[in-house]
């Protein structure tokens, strides 16, 4: 169990960490630090912190783990303000969406003030901000990236790994530079594209006629563009080199599309779309590459309301936890196939036996 955990910046991410730790009983004490007592009181009322203070020095006294969860542009200034008050042995981590600049600055400070730092980035979130949108289940089964360097003490990594596990997430270790390139590709560039699509529509004289027609396609591809512009401004500004490199590649991909359309190249266009379709289908399982393989079963079920609830309750009765669930095929009237994944082979085996004993068509896959 973690001891005193201090969260600086109890917003969406800080609040979700606090809620998860407290609901799961994984920390002796969760203390929130912020600028406004009124907002911190709200965080306490929502159950995200046990207590709070607006005084940094008082808040971090006796802390085992300090989590800096402020907007990204304020993470390094916050660490500067915190550093003189930290006791030797305190471990500090952050949740910032970019890592190279933060880790460099934090490691310089850590060496000067003798605390330990481990960069962190949970790969879960929302376009909404504020503790009122915090969610205790946000990190369950999500990847949580840690970015240790050769300077990071192993005990500090273990303490932050304990936080990751305590909130139900899965730890992945990636060096800061590589982290920034990877998330530029899967998070920051998609955000830029979503914003670009919105800006394009906004610039069209026919905008008023077009926008009401936006259905699932536009909504799904642009959800993240509703995010906080100040937060995203700072994410993009702290990751310009990887983003510009990927943007140049993206322009080539768009150019390729433009040429296919100009030539009315049906085969080429279909192939271009198929490549994308294949990649998109790989998304849920592809990310497993960083982790031990999940252990899966595949269940064939009739097309009937409540069938997933029935599977889930059979497994719940045996206290088997589902780590991932995916509907692979569902044809009207013909039933479908559902993939259920478990973190441990014993759970896979138990799930297989439980469902087979209930007369359900089930087979094991992977693991």
Contact positions toward ligand PRE, by CB under 6 A? 97, 123-127, 187, 224
Residue 224 binds which entry of ligand NAD, ligand PRE, none, with Cβ cut-offs from 5 to 8 Å by kind? ligand PRE
- Return the number of the residue (122 or 148) whose C-beta is nearest ligand NAD: 122
Q: How far is 351 from 153, CA to CA, in rounded Å?
A: 39
Task: Report, in this order, helix, strand and coil percent for the chain, each rounded to 5.
Answer: 55, 20, 30
- Return the number of the residue (44 or 238) whose C-beta is nearest ligand PRE: 238
The minimum distance between CB 365 and ligand PRE, in angstroms, equals: 27
Strand 361-365 relative to strand 295-301: parallel, antiparallel, unpaired? antiparallel
- Return the number of the residue (226 or 357) whose C-beta is nearest ligand PRE: 226
The three-state secondary structure class of 317 is: helix
Q: How far is 143 from 259, CA to CA, in rounded Å?
A: 38
Exactly one of 119, 122, 176, 242 binds ligand NAD (CB under 6 A); that residue is 122
Residue 70 binds which entry of ligand NAD, ligand PRE, none, with Cβ cut-offs from 5 to 8 Å by kind? ligand NAD
Exactly one of 59, 96, 136, 242 binds ligand NAD (CB under 6 A); that residue is 96
- Return the number of the residue (19 or 95) whose C-beta is nearest ligand NAD: 95
Binding of residue 168 to ligand NAD (CB under 6 A): no
Query: Mask: binding to ligand NAD, 10-39, rule CB under 6 A, as x and -?
Result: xxxxx-------------------xx---x
**Shortest CA distance to 194 belongs to which of 150, 227, 165, 234?**
227
CA distances from 262 to 250, 252, 268, 271, 312 (A): 18, 15, 12, 16, 51
- Work out the end-to-end distance of the chain between its first and last CA atoms, rounded to an integer number of angstroms: 30
Helix 176-183 to helix 100-113 angle (10° resolution) is: 150
Q: What is the DSSP-derived secondary structure letter of residue 73?
A: G
The token pair that represents 120 in the structure block:
């962190």
- Return the number of the residue (8 or 338) whose C-beta is nearest ligand NAD: 8
The token pair that represents 107 in the structure block:
């490691």
Q: For ligand NAD, how many residues bind (rule: CB under 6 A)? A: 28
Residues 6+ apart with CB under 8 A from 132: 42, 46
Subset of residues 51 to 80 that bind ligand NAD, contact rule: CB under 6 A = 69-72, 74-75, 78
The minimum distance between CB 354 and ligand PRE, in angstroms, equals: 33
**Shortest CA distance to 365 belongs to which of 339, 343, 346?**
339
The three-state secondary structure class of 66 is: strand
Q: What are phi and psi of 333, to 5 degrees?
A: 80, -20
The minimum distance between CB 57 and ligand PRE, in angstroms, equals: 29
- Return the number of the residue (204 or 237) whose C-beta is nearest ligand PRE: 237
Binding of residue 105 to ligand NAD (CB under 6 A): no
Binding of residue 8 to ligand NAD (CB under 6 A): yes
The minimum distance between CB 253 and ligand NAD, in angstroms, equals: 25
The answer to whether 70 and 39 have CB atoms below 8 angstroms apart is no
- Return the number of the residue (96 or 136) whose C-beta is nearest ligand NAD: 96
The minimum distance between CB 89 and ligand PRE, in angstroms, equals: 29
Residue 220 CB: number of other CB atoms within 10 A? 9
Q: Which stretch binds ligand NAD (CB under 6 A): 23-31, 125-133, 148-156, 208-216?
A: 125-133
- Return the number of the residue (9 or 18) whose C-beta is nearest ligand NAD: 9
Q: How far is 319 from 297, CA to CA, in rounded Å?
A: 16
The minimum distance between CB 302 and ligand PRE, in angstroms, equals: 33
* Residues found near ligand NAD in the complex (CB under 6 A): 8-14, 34-35, 39, 69-72, 74-75, 78, 95-97, 121-122, 125-126, 129-130, 231, 235
């Amino acid at each position: 169990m973690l001891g005193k955990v201090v969260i600086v910046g109890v917003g969406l991410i800080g609040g979700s960490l606090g809620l998860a730790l407290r609901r799961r009983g994984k920390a002796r004490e969760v203390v929130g630090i912020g600028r406004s007592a009124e907002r911190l009181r709200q965080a306490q009322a929502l159950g995200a912190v046990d207590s709070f203070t607006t005084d940094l020095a008082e808040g971090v006294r006796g802390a085992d783990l300090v989590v800096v969860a402020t907007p990204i542009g304020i993470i390094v200034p916050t660490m500067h303000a915190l550093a003189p008050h930290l006791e030797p042995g305190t471990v500090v981590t952050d949740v910032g969406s970019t890592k190279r600049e933060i880790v460099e600055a934090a490691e310089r400070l850590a060496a000067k003030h003798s605390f330990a730092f481990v960069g962190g980035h949970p790969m879960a979130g929302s376009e909404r901000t504020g503790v009122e949108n915090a969610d205790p289940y946000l990190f369950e089964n999500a990847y949580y990236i840690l970015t240790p360097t050769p300077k990071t003490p192993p005990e500090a990594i273990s303490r932050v790994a304990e936080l990751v596990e305590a909130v139900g997430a899965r730890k992945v270790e990636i060096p800061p530079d590589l982290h920034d390139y990877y998330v530029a590709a899967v998070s920051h560039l998609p955000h830029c594209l979503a914003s670009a699509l919105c800006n394009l529509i906004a610039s069209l004289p026919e905008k008023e006629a077009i926008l009401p027609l936006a259905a699932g396609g536009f909504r799904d591809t642009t959800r993240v563009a509703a995010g906080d512009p100040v937060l995203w401004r700072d994410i993009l500004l702290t990751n310009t080199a990887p983003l510009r490199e990927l943007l140049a590649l993206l322009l080539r991909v768009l150019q390729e599309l433009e040429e296919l359309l100009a030539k009315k190249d049906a085969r080429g266009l279909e192939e271009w779309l198929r490549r994308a379709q294949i990649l998109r289908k790989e998304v849920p399982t592809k990310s497993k590459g960083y982790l031990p393989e999940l252990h899966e079963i595949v269940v064939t079920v009739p097309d009937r309301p409540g069938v997933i609830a029935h599977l889930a309750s059979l497994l719940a009765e045996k206290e088997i936890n589902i780590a991932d669930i995916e509907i692979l095929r569902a044809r009207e009237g013909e039933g479908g196939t559902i993939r259920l994944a478990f973190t441990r082979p014993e759970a896979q085996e138990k799930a297989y036996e439980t469902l087979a004993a209930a007369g359900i068509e089930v087979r094991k896959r992977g693991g």
